[in-house]
A = this chain, B = another copy of it.
Amino acid sequence: MNTTSVEWVGGIEGHLRLIDQTRLPTELVYLECRDIETVFEAIRSLRVRGAPAIGIAAAYGVCLGVRGAEDGPVAPSQEALTQSLEKAIDYLATSRPTAVNLFWALERMRGAGRQWAGQQLSDQQTPQRLVERLLEEARAIHEEDRAMCHAIGRYGAALLADGQGVLTHCNAGGLATAEYGTALAVFFAAQDAGKRLHVYADETRPLLQGARLTAWELKQRGVDVTLICDSMAAQVMREGRVSAVVVGADRIAANGDTANKIGTYGVALLAAAHGIPFYVAAPTSTFDLSLASGEAIPIEQRAAQEITHGFGRQTAPDGVQVYNPAFDVTPVRLIRAIICERGVIEPVTPEMIARTLQDASFGQKNGGQKDRELSR
């Protein structure tokens, strides 16, 4: 079954197909976007979520916006086309104001438009050529993300054995990315390599990304997955059902301290208590070297209703005080290795991290996307 969250169908006259993630896990509904307004609404309503997936969808959305502007009896001027491009970018930038990766993708599209405008030959400046150039750039963004996920998967899969039990928390999966995800990429790549894993997925309160998304993605791809409540992870470890933990990351400091969905730190402590290796899988773009350690990472507080009205019904007394941190920070001492698209960082030290990020054979690809959306 097709579980690709973002896909361009056809050529220059094609359209964008998204999985409507708000309908999961009970229904798999595809959203066919043939105009920029539908893409805008899909991003705004979280039908597409996860930093990389949002960036990719927005890039294709720009193509649809500019293609829509060229309709008409007379071909528009270069100036009019540039205006329509800027308008499309500005419009999509307001769809999800806090998504850093969205802006990064839109800037790349703006750059592609400038390349087109800077062509010397006027036959290179037709409306059709602009849409072709924009689609080429969107596809490049898409393909780079896919390649990154697959590289993480390959490196991570080598750490796991056939028949092994592993535990994950939240959703660092393919729905949030071009394909494959980060933590889940490791499981998919292991499966592709013929290794049968037994994955235990924490449901991940309050927003249940583990139950709604991770369990769904793994099941769709035929990975053996068992859903548990977050409070059961310790028992699952004690019974020897899992011998590794793999999670994603939202932000990683220069020393390796890792911010991720609330509950990750607890899972890391439980893993340490049971002698189980704890792995973080994340692209190099997740590192924020401006932060010396996790101490500097602010913890977002979220609405009480996520806890008190979590399942469509009020489950706590009126007006009860609630503490609802969205993230926690796992100290580097609890992290066995960080799996990124350039390889496995082990042991996790500031020097190893710096050396990995300086590796000139990569770089620039996902420049600067320090987004907190990846695993939400």
Measured CB to CB, the residues of A under 8 A from B are: 24-26, 200, 202-206, 208, 211-212, 215-216, 219, 224-236, 238, 241, 262-263, 265-266, 269-270, 272-273, 299, 307-308, 310-325, 328
Q: How far is the CA of A25 from the CA of B318 in the complex (A)?
A: 8
User: Known contacts A231-B231, A238-B265, A310-B311; can you find 4 more A-B pairs with CB under 8 A?
Assistant: A215-B320, A216-B316, A224-B321, A235-B325
Number of copies: 2
Is A316's CB under 8 angstroms from B227's CB? yes
Q: For the complex, what is the distance from the CA of A229 to the CA of B305, rounded to whole Å?
A: 12
A317 to chain B, nearest CB (A): 4
List of 6 A-B pairs having minimum Cβ-Cβ separation, nearest first: A231-B263, A311-B311, A234-B266, A25-B317, A312-B313, A205-B229
Q: Smallest distance from the beta carbon of A27 to chain B beta carbons, Å?
A: 10
B202 and A231 form a contact (CB under 8 A): yes
Taken together as a complex, chains A and B put the C-alpha atoms of A270 and B270 apart, in Å, by: 7
Contacts of A316 in B (CB 8 A): 25, 203, 208, 211-212, 215-216, 227
Q: How far is the CB of A301 from chain B (nearest CB, A)?
A: 11
B266 touches A226 (CB 8 A): no
With A206-B229, A269-B270 in contact, do A211 and B315 touch (Cβ < 8 Å)?
A: yes
How far is it, in angstroms, between the C-alpha of A238 and the C-alpha of B324 when the chains are bound?
A: 14
Judging by beta carbons under 8 Å apart, are B205 and A315 in contact? no
B235 contacts A265, C-beta separation under 8 Å: yes
- CB-nearest residue of chain B to A217: B317
Distance between Cα atoms of A364 and B208 in the complex (Å): 47
Which residue of chain B is the closest to A272 with respect to CB atoms? B273
Tell me whether B208 and A315 are in contact (CB under 8 A): yes
For A322, give the chain B residue with the smallest CB separation: B227
- Chain B nearest Cβ from A205, distance in angstroms: 4
Contact of A235 among B266, B270, B318 (CB under 8 A): B266
A206: chain B residues at CB < 8 Å are 229
Once the chains bind, are B234 and A265 in contact (CB under 8 Å)? yes
Contacts of A241 in B (CB 8 A): 323
Check A219/B320 contact, CB under 8 A, given A205-B203, A273-B273, A307-B228. yes
- A266-B231 CB under 8 A given contacts A311-B312, A312-B311, A312-B313: yes
Assess the A234–B315 pair: CB atoms within 8 A: no
Most B-side CB within 10 Å, residue of A211, A219, A308, A316:
A316
27 contacts between A and B (CB under 8 A): A25-B315, A25-B316, A25-B317, A205-B231, A206-B229, A212-B316, A216-B316, A216-B317, A224-B321, A226-B320, A226-B321, A227-B322, A228-B323, A229-B230, A230-B231, A231-B262, A232-B323, A232-B324, A232-B325, A234-B269, A241-B323, A269-B273, A273-B273, A310-B311, A311-B312, A311-B313, A311-B315
Given that A205-B205, A316-B212 are contacting pairs, would A266 and B324 also be in contact in the complex, using a CB cutoff of 8 Å? no
Q: Is there an interface contact between B215 and A235, defined as CB atoms closer than 8 Å?
A: no
**Hey, which chain B residues are within 8 Å of A225, CB to CB?**
320-321
A227:B320 contact, CB within 8 angstroms: yes
A270 to chain B, nearest CB (A): 6
Chain B contacts for A233, CB-based, 8 A = 266
A200 CA to B226 CA in the complex, in Å? Answer: 29
Kindly provide the distance from the CB of A345 to the nearest chain B CB, expressed in whole angstroms.
Answer: 24
